[in-house]
Structure 1
Amino acid sequence: MRIEVTHVNSDGNYTMAELIRRAAARDTVRLAGARANVTTPLHYSTAGGYLMELAVGTPPVPYLGLADTGSTLVWIECLPCKNCTDLVVPKYDPHKSPTFSSLPCNSSLCEALDFRGSCLKGSCTYNIVYGSGATVGVLGSEIFTFGSSEPVSVPDIGFGCSTDSLGDYGNSSGIVGLGKSSLSLVSQLGVGKFSYCLTSYYDIRSTSSLFFGSSASLSGTAVKSTAFVRNPNSTFASFYYLPLKGISLGATLLPVPSTAFAIRTDGSGGLIIDSGTTFTYLGDVAYQLVKQAIQSLVNRPPADGLKLELDLCYSLRPPPPQMPNMTFHFDGADMNLPVDNYMISDSETGLWCLAMLNSTDNSSILGNFQQQNMHILYDLDNDVLSFVPAQCSKL
């Protein structure tokens, strides 16, 4: 199954500077706190993520949801809504769909909510706090339809019907959780793998693609693979951790300690790959070494990046120097990032900035800016992540 995914800003209402600021601000807050074969388009979000097309209910009503490998619950805003965005219309009305039903408190999906779920008059309710917001509602079951040219309808998808939400979700109706949990869309579709290919950050018109099931596949000698790492703390079990061993800039291997990306016994630390976070965050030790390496190559005074809420910036005048690839060395696989995947330009402010930030703690996140123009496959059956460079707009 293939679904198109687009930039949240595909409507063109934001300048590049506004996009960068929104993404950086949202990321900072976020950091603090075989039933079907489906292919779906993805659209880029003003919140810095990518929006997935889906339709909910009978008759199917189209919505856009933020595709997020860093969360688990699938939810959309529902009527009556107390605190919801005014940008998204129409909103889903469960009373107008004969295929909607609320899930009881003893359902397996309600139990999967763990401490975030509760019971109200026999129905399962939830209160989920994200790093960048929160959502409250009732857990229900409904028919979800994916794709437009050859739609695929899947019954009995458990989802959150949110009547109160707080946060910046761009122009989406909610979140499509793709994390490791029985609540996520991946688990409920019953597929063992999914993949996506994200178009360039600057290309807000082209659509990216999200693949589920047998349509999610990579081939060729350029494909690299690395095994997911398990976190010993069950609180973080839904995240996709990767075994990052080091970072190079050009031919220079940075002196990052081998422990910089290790998961600690309490579950802290490590690096996760996340489609819902825009810029990559590195722990302080690794970030400072990357920053110093960039500074030594650029060899000019930095500019104030406050306008973009980024840390290391330079003026676009004179033009920046040619920069080498940056390489993330995973266990058994090197991910090569061209300069456009780690430096970001904005003509409005005249700035050229490092598209990475300091997490200020031991945790690290591989954001979607670094994943652009790369086809990335999550093989859940074998606990392996594979990736290969690709022209995602032509996939």
Structure 2
Amino acid sequence: MTNNNNISLLTAILFFSILIPLFLSSPPSSSTVSTKTLVLPLKIQKPPIGFLSTSKASNSSNNKLSFRHNVTLTVSLTVGSPPQSVTMVLDTGSELSWLHCKKSPTLNSIYTPLSSSSYTSIPCSSPVCRTRTRDLPIPASCDSRKLCHVSVSYADASSLVGNLAYETFRIGSLTRPGTIFGCMDSGFSSNSDEDAKTTGLIGMNRGSLSFVTQMGFSKFSYCISGQDSSGVLLFGDEKFSWLGPLNYTPFVKISRPLPYFDRVAYSVQLEGIKVAGKLLPIPRSSFVPDHTGAGQTMVDSGTQFTFLLGPVYSALKTEFVRQTRGLATVFEDANFVFQGAMDLCYRVPPNRKGFSDFPAVSLVFTGAEMSVSGDRLLYRVQGMTGKGGDWVYCFTFGNSDLLGIEAFVIGHHHQQNVWMEFDLAKSRVGFAEVRCDLVSQRLGALGLNT
């Protein structure tokens, strides 16, 4: 998920996160963090078939499915003393890790701070709260109990409020006392059914207090299977003989703060887009952030699909429609926009076997390309049908402008069956196509250390 205020970003179908206050000062005594490689299972949480209600599945003229999150990448860990099991959304677009800390009829899993001897609230007089909040879109404040109060909000209108605190986090064999996180006790969700399946969110961006930074790792990787809802998350640096060479693209950094540029996101430079090998005639300047920082490209595991700024999206849509004539029938309903930003959809017979005949879309970055082909190009709108009982599938690239966002976002749907490496030490993202279901089998994907 990405910063919703600094860059007005989205998380497609998934919630977005706003960067929140998490800033290190002097936590309770902590042990030295191990830097050995750690391998953990990564789960893809999907909505049940038919989650779309009958009323929303109708083909009425006002049928515009709202922007909401319904697919997330989750990892399990324990928090507190004694340990409490939690499930958290993995989000490379966020800095603040947070947990639901107050019981609610809509929450199946919460963390209970009163049951933990290692939980410590952070007062608003602490340097963590007073002086390390300069990058927050919503500044930290002081609540009635003199505790550091924080707020998060998302592009789907969800929001949470709570307090910063220290706690012991355990992930695999690794223990990190004094981890700073948000203990959230109230808020509003636009999709409570999905939120009920997780306990919180784990922030993984480049911020000084993201989870990966606090745990002491300079590199992490993940691999998401598109077949069996499984994946693997790896902390640390490890070489595998079965993994081919990675293509790397450097982080884009700026020296001065800009209002719409998220400086701790995994920002890379998109340079062009190809459809079936044909480079679209889009000026290079269309991909470069402007003087306000608007127009950066971010790699985000907390966003499901990929979103492009309006002019670039329009060029891609036009060429994709041209090259798919005769392969499938465009779903003709000018008022239907899936997830609020995806307005190119197709009627597809239920007996169609995949989309291997559709043209691949390649995202051209500085020094690397990422190809999106086959079933990753289209996504079925569950519970919705077209004329004659056809299923409705939508193009998995959306229009950022329809969501009011000022950036390109590369979502996790297009990272399926791709080994994704985030190298903080060398300031780069690397990727290579691989069968992620086989990767999970090779590494055990059961929380085993290599």
TM-score, length basis structure 2:
0.74
- Say whether residues 1:134 and 2:166 are aligned partners: no
Q: 1:354 to 1:63 in 2, by over 3 A?
A: same
1:237 to 263, 268, 271: 263
Indicate the residue corresponding to 2:374 in structure 1: 339
Whether 2:348 is the aligned partner of 1:316: answer yes
Partner AA of 2:180 in structure 1: G
Conserved in 2, the CA contact under 8 Å of 1:102 and 1:141? yes
Q: Number of residues paired by the alignment?
A: 363
Aligned partners of 1:55 and 1:62 also within 8 Å: yes
Q: For 1:63-99, what per-residue CA distance to the aligned partner results, in whole angstroms no more than 9, with x for missing partners? A: 11111111110000003x5xx562323x211111111
1:184 and 2:210 aligned: yes
- The equivalent position to 2:87 in structure 1, one of 64, 79, 84, is 64
| Map of 2:410 onto structure 1 | 366
Does structure 2 retain, via aligned residues, the 8 Å contact 1:195–1:216? no
* Aligned match of 1:287: 313
Q: Which residue of 1 aligns with 2:330?
A: 302
Query: d(CA) in 1 for partners of 2:235 and 2:381?
Result: 34
User: How many angstroms apart in 1 are the aligned matches of 2:397 and 2:360?
Assistant: 15
CA 1:370–1:261 in 2, change beyond 3 Å: closer, same or farther?
same
1:162 positional shift: 0.4
Q: CA deviation at 1:25?
A: 6.0
Seen in structure 2, the aligned counterparts of structure 1 residues 216 and 66 have a Cα distance that, compared at 3 Å, is: farther
The secondary structure found in structure 2 opposite 1:180 is coil
| Number of the residue aligned with 2:170 | 145
Q: How does 1:1-395 map to 2 (within 5 A)?
A: 1-9=38-46, 13-15=48-50, 28=67, 47-79=70-102, 81=103, 84=104, 86-89=106-109, 91-107=110-126, 109-110=128-129, 111-114=131-134, 115-120=138-143, 121-132=145-156, 133-147=158-172, 151-167=173-189, 168=191, 170=195, 171-200=197-226, 203=227, 205-215=228-238, 221-231=244-254, 232-233=256-257, 236-300=262-326, 301-304=329-332, 306=336, 308-309=338-339, 310-317=342-349, 319=352, 322-345=357-380, 348=383, 349=385, 350-360=391-401, 362-395=406-439
Report SS of the residue matched to 1:294.
helix
The one-character-per-residue Cα deviations of 1:282-338 (angstroms, maximum 9, x if unpaired) are 011111111111111111541147385441111113846812321111011111222
Cα distance between partner residues in 1 of 2:49 and 2:347: 22
Identity score, percent: 27
Task: Let me know the Cα RMSD of the aligned residues.
Answer: 2.8
The one-letter code of the counterpart of 2:358 is: M
User: Which shows bigger deviation, 256-265 or 245-254?
Assistant: 256-265
Change (3 A) 1:17 1:393: farther
C-alpha contact (below 8 Å) 1:50/1:276 kept by paired residues: yes
Note the C-alpha offset of 1:184.
Answer: 1.0
Secondary structure of 1:158's counterpart equals strand
Matches of 2:118 and 2:240, distance apart in 1? 33
Which secondary structure does the structure 2 equivalent of 1:112 belong to? coil
Matched AA of 1:139: L
- Are the structure 2 counterparts of residues 234 and 160 from structure 1 closer, same or farther at C-alpha, using a change threshold of 3 Å? farther
Question: What one-letter code is carried by the residue in structure 2 that aligns with 1:384?
Answer: R
Provide the secondary structure at the position in 2 that maps to 1:138: strand
Aligned to 1:38: none
Per mean C-alpha deviation after superposition, the further-off stretch among 60-69 and 218-227 is 218-227
In 2, the alpha carbon distance for the partners of 1:230 and 1:316 equals 43
Cα distance, 1:129 vs structure 2: 2.3
Paired letter, 2:162: G
Q: Deviations 1:213-248 (Å, cap 9, x if unpaired)?
A: 235889855410000102443552121111110000
Other-structure match for 1:35: none
Given that residues 275 and 361 in structure 2 are in contact (C-alpha distance below 8 angstroms), is that contact kept between their aligned partners in structure 1? yes
For 1:144 and 1:273, the matched residues in 2 are separated by 26
Question: Partners in 2 of 1:211 and 1:128 — Cα distance?
Answer: 27
Q: Could you list the per-position Cα deviations for residues 192-217 of structure 1 after superposition, in whole angstroms to 9, with x for gaps in the alignment?
A: 111111121xx3x4421111123588
The answer to whether the 8 Å contact 1:316/1:351 transfers is: yes
User: 2: CA distance between counterparts of 1:345 and 1:47?
Assistant: 13
Gap runs ≥5 in structure 2: 1-37, 57-63, 386-390, 440-450
Q: Which has the higher contact order (CA 8 A, sep 6+)?
A: 2
Q: Which segments of 5 or more consecutive residues in structure 1 lack a partner in the other structure?
A: 30-45
Classify the secondary structure of the residue corresponding to 1:131. coil
Q: When the two structures are superposed, what TM-score results if normalisation uses the length of structure 1?
A: 0.83
The answer (yes or no) to whether the contact 1:302–1:314 under 8 Å persists in 2 is yes
Give distance in 1, aligned partners of 2:207 and 2:97: 11
